Amino acid sequence: MEKLFTTMLDLLHTDTIGSWVNGQIELGSGELIELINADDETVMLRYQDADPAIAATIDEAAQRAQQEWWAMPAKTRGRILYQIGTEIRKEAEALGWVESLSTNKPLNNAKAEILIVAEMFEYYAGWADKLHGEVIPVPTTHLNYVKYEAMGTILQMTPWNAAFFTAGWQVAPALAAGNAVILKPSELTPITSLMLGALIERAGAPKGLVNVVAGYGHTIGQTLIAKANIRKVCFVGSPKTGAHIATAAAKRCIPCVLELGGKSANIVFADANLDQAMKGAMAAIFGGSGQSCVSGSRLLVQESIFEKFVASVAKAAQQIRVGHPQHADSDIGPVNNRKQYDHICNMLAIGEQEGAKVVAGTTPIPERDGFYINPTVLAGNNQMTVAQEEIFGPVVVAIPFKDEADAIALANDSQFGLAGAVWTNDVARAHRVADQVKAGTFWINSYKTIHVSSPFGGYRNSGYGRSSGLEVLREYCEVKSVWVETSAQPAFSFNYGTVEG
């Protein structure tokens, strides 16, 4: 743990966790929160939940910083955003190590995610001075122009599975659009988000532009939604919490973007390149121990190849090295926390009761401490609980289908609509399937690639709004339409306009 304390001291000037507010750490005074090591279940750190009084301090700091930020030339904001990317790159080693320790991702995966976050800030740096308005060719004598203005302060709430990734994904575009941010990371993984807050300031952003609150969602999270001077809530997390948050925000007429869970269908036709489809199916579900919102957790396989294909996935799954996240020979680490571990074990038990066949994987792993789950392949049908509910672990349910229509019907027989994929060598079929599956992201002969430049978000219970690409910049703006009369003899009317005919 000494390395963790040194890293925190270097960047945050503290060896304990508090909230990053107006450029310094404010210790909480609430309930004790424990960060548990998922490998051996020992306590790594204890810290106190943020005090609700913090909301007022943040409001003041964020408001002042946002006005300063918005008053800067857009080009200067862009340069600072780019510099944030540079600061992240400089600290990639330390950030990657802490992220691996907190999320239990293997070190290499965690480090790779840090660099992706640097790229997010670099990408939105380029947008800062290109977010310009439009002139609308209205059919009256007016000049009508549209301006995009910053909203003010945005509250962003992120989950534990990809703490730093989701923080960057949320914060970078909100800043590019000229806003201040209150970031409330999961109470289980706050450290790299706090480090991000410090690096943003080191890059030259005004103090208080990004404030990071360390604490529980049901306490300080709810206080912020109910009391903070915010103009929007952007939430990444579970559907249940998302609904709860949207309800609380609606009471204040505050809009939300919700990025929620999924149960994505990964469809394999008999005519696909089956070796690539098998590798794709593995990457789709087992990366990050299956704790990814876009996981291909339903593997739909054409009947004629079902047994052989599923056996090949099961064989490959058994070769995945499950181990300590900081050991070089681990492909996946333990799942993040006790609650998640118990949930996965419970879902596996339900699967067994409902008749799902275990093709690979046994859990719990009897001889091992920690929250380790073996990569598991189940064979079942789409009505089973394990095929309908999010498991959020290294568990895939293989389901046979007859033909194209059947595959599409099964893919869409879900409350979710976050992502999906099809594997086939028939180009026309690939596009037909992509067209008909109700999901915000869809891959053809590929899986899991996302990029900050492309819009990301869900259909149905997977959420609403988009959190990347150009689309998200619109989410973070107020839109103003300005009408300028240009006629020397304007017409005045009791109606809404003066259009003839």
Residues binding ligand NAD (CB under 6 A): 157-162, 166, 184-187, 216-218, 221-222, 236-238, 241, 244-245, 259-262, 293, 390, 392, 418, 463
Q: How far is CA 104 from CA 96, 100, 109, 214, 498, in A?
A: 11, 5, 10, 19, 63
H-type helices in 104-217, by residue range? 107-127, 163-176, 191-202
Q: How far apart are CA 348 and CA 356, in angstroms?
A: 9
What residues form DSSP beta bridges with 254?
none
> Hey, which residues are catalytic here?
259
Least distance to ligand NAD, CB of residue 38, Å: 14
Taking the least distance from each CB to ligand NAD, the nearer of 117 and 128 is 117
CA distance 396 to 443: 18
Q: What are phi and psi of 13, to 5 degrees?
A: 55, 35
Choose between 162 and 212: whose C-beta lies nearer to ligand NAD: 162
Burial of 251 (0-12, 13-18, 19+ CB in 10 A): exposed
Q: Which of 340, 391, 364 is nearest to 103 (CA)?
A: 340
Residue 182 or 272: which CB sits closer to ligand NAD? 182
> Between 249 and 317, whose beta carbon lies closer to ligand NAD?
249
Distance in angstroms (rounded) separating the CA atoms of residues 135 and 142: 11
Output 76 or 385, the one with its CB closest to ligand NAD.
385
Please report, for residues 29, 108, 310, 328, 459, the alpha-carbon distance to residue 289 in angstroms, rounded to integers and kept in the order given. 34, 14, 19, 16, 24
Q: What residues contact residue 204 under an 8 Å CB cut-off, 6+ apart?
A: 79, 80, 83
Task: Give the Cα separation of 10 and 358 in Å (integer).
Answer: 48
The Cα-based distances of 256 to 236, 259, 294, 463 in angstroms read: 11, 10, 21, 10
First to last CA, the chain: 76
How many Cβ atoms are within 10 Å of 335's Cβ, its own excluded?
A: 26
Which residue's Cβ lies closest to ligand NAD?
Answer: 217
Pure H helices in 177-294: 191-202, 222-227, 239-250, 274-286
Q: Are 296 and 330 in contact (CB under 8 A)?
A: no
* Minimum distance of ligand NAD from residue 500's CB (angstroms): 49
In angstroms, what is the minimal distance from the CB of 120 to ligand NAD? 14
Q: Is 144 helix (H, G, I), strand (E, B) or coil?
A: strand
Nearest approach in angstroms of CB 160 to ligand NAD is: 5
Q: What does each C-alpha distance from 285 to 278, 281, 305, 313, 496 come to in angstroms?
A: 11, 7, 20, 11, 54
> In the bound complex, what is the minimum distance in angstroms from residue 187's beta carbon to ligand NAD?
5
C-alpha span between 413 and 38 (Å, rounded): 34
Distance of closest approach, residue 63 Cβ to ligand NAD, in angstroms? 22
Distance between CA 127 and CA 367 in Å, rounded? Answer: 52
Residue 217 C-beta: closest distance to ligand NAD, Å: 2
Q: Which is nearer to ligand NAD, 181 or 360 (CB)?
A: 181
Beta carbon of residue 240, minimum distance to ligand NAD (angstroms, whole number): 7
**What's the rounded Cα separation, in Å, for the pair 444 and 436?**
13
Shortest gap between Cβ of 278 and ligand NAD (angstroms)?
24
23/180 Cα distance (integer angstroms): 13
